[in-house]
Structure 1
């Protein structure tokens, strides 16, 4: 892939992140690109090329995606964040290595490989930093011919099987703090002790009763 296309991908990604932060200005996009130590981008000239290709509209204070730009940006963000999950959950790489490698992956993963990675991971909703991963068709219609997910909901774990907590997607932040205080932390081993009359898990020597809703928000992988 040539430098121009790499720059376009990086700026599309930066605009998406800026939109998530609620400020889609050129200044914010420049700041996000500057914070990315893995690449140096000429934002202004790249935006000119993107306007010429009908990927973005708007000027200084509000950049907007066109329909084509939205699709491209969504695909880039999806590839990057799935790559982060793969690198952290499966390969256990450091955060620094995860970031650098995910930036490379976002440019080279084709749709078929991206779908396989997503299915393999169990269609994760969030990246390791807690940002949403855009869904693909595979997330809406799970196909049994895909690889068995490496990561599953705690609510689906068979009785007596010991797994490690991969990530948690709580409905609200206070719940995350509460679960952390109870020992439900990424990397800790957990086992489903019983399902009825209440859902009970065991972490080390501690047994906890959880609501079924909370069990669906905890994702685990094999130890």
Structure 2
């Protein structure tokens, strides 16, 4: 059941308190709330939290939902910093607004685009998503860096593994995006590939960072 943004923010705070700060019972006063607060009533009615004497904890469903909210927030921070080059002082407030549009499916697309980052810009772990698990399973089978392809081999862009904003911007300006078909033309002295009827060349470091879902021969 979808909950309001205010309730999501409280759920996010509780998930961090319980799972990362190891405070298994959260005193509502520490969140500036009480049992009559609209957000708390909403989280109770939707089955996300359990409450006793102003001490709250997450239900099994609430833990899963809170994990998703935290994942979206930290992916939003990563996107704002790595791709949109947002200044540090604006990251937290912008991510708070941006996370609410990263609904299930969109957040996985962002995660794939960013190369399944493990931490947010502040060093906190990003909870793993289904796309991360799938990518890890595929790595040894059908997904490989562009630099590992043979000349004439082709596939579709799976994701990037790069953290430098300039490199990411270069990829985006070239139209190198997840799901786009790519074919390797040559691997020396630089890596040359065809993409959308246009030929591009990148160095080995860049080619190592572009992962391709290789077409089976």
Shorter-normalised TM range: 0.5 to 0.7
Secondary structure of the residue aligned to 2:91 is: helix
How well do the aligned residues superpose, as a CA RMSD in angstroms? 3.1
TM-score (norm 1): 0.56
Q: CA deviation at 1:107?
A: 1.2
Runs of 4+ in 1 over 6 A off after TM superposition: none
In 2, are the aligned partners of 1:82 and 1:118 still within 8 Å (CA)? yes
Is 1:15 matched up with 2:14? yes
Task: Return the TM-score normalized by structure 2.
Answer: 0.58
Give the deviation of 1:62 after TM superposition.
4.4
2:15 equivalent to 1:5: no
**Helix, strand or coil at the partner of 1:141:** helix
Structure number with greater Rg is 2
User: 1:56 aligns to what?
Assistant: 49
Can you give the 5+ residue segments of structure 2 that lack an aligned partner in the other structure?
Answer: 144-154, 169-208, 211-217
Deviation (angstroms), 1:14: 0.7
Do residues 133 (structure 1) and 126 (structure 2) align?
yes
Which residue pairs with 2:27 in the alignment? 26
Kindly state the Cα deviation for residue 43 of structure 1 after the two structures are TM-superposed. 5.7
Q: Is the 8 A contact 1:119 1:146 kept in 2?
A: no
**Does structure 2 conserve the Cα–Cα contact (< 8 Å) formed by 1:11 and 1:29?**
no
1:69 to 51, 62, 70: 62
Counterpart of 2:52 in 1: which secondary structure? coil
Aligned partner of residue 96 in structure 2, secondary structure? helix
Secondary structure, counterpart of 1:149 in structure 2:
strand
**Residues 28 and 55 in structure 2, CA contact (< 8 A), matched pair in contact too:** no
**Alignment length (residue pairs):** 146
Is the 8 Å Cα contact of residues 120 and 147 (structure 1) preserved in structure 2?
no
